[in-house]
Amino acid sequence: MRGWSTQNRLFAGPLMKRNRSPSLITAMLALLAAPFASAVVVLAQSSAESQPEPTESIAAPRPALISHVVLITLRDANDADALVSDCDRLLGTIPSVVSYSCGTPLDTGRASVDGTYHVGVYLGFESATGYTQYLEHESHLALVEAWKARTESMRIFDIADPTP
């Protein structure tokens, strides 16, 4: 065992006493170490494969070509839930409406967000004709008439989005 370090002699000493050559010992150690080396390689490959590949960002879908937004302030804020219920019952079922949402302001705690209304309504349409049909629909007209006396003000915004 000349030329071997003390550590190698301590480890290989018992094997060498049985007249095994250093190359045989090296081969046996390699066989014993192979499963551990394979596991390290597999783990390294798995880790590299599990990294997400960069992808292009996909834009959120646009809901409609025309968006109609109405922010309503009521004479009595306690009527908000009743108005939301009537809007859900009457507006979301009009055939030309392709997207719809109605609710009360969300308090996010942000000073820059205007929450000075009681009910917000969003309706989406695929065409100006569909929007006109909504305005003239008996359900829309009935809702406006039923809530006219209980409404203090309305802010209405119509948004054209040619990109959907």
Q: Is the pTM of this model over 0.75?
A: no
- Long-range CB contact pairs, 147-150, < 8 A, 24+: 147/72, 147/83, 147/86, 150/74, 150/75, 150/76, 150/79, 150/83
**pLDDT tens, residue by residue, 1-20:** 455 444 444 444 444 444 54
pLDDT digits (tens, 9 = 90+) for 67-79: 999 999 999 999 9
Would you list the domain boundaries of the chain? 6-49, 66-107+114-160
More confident residue, 161 or 13: 161
State which amino acid sits at residue 110: R
* CATH class as words, domain 66-107+114-160: alpha beta
Chain segment 29-75, per-residue pLDDT in tens? 444 444 544 444 444 555 555 566 666 788 888 889 999 999 999 99
DSSP state of 91: T
How would residue 136 be classed by pLDDT, with cut points 50, 70 and 90?
very high
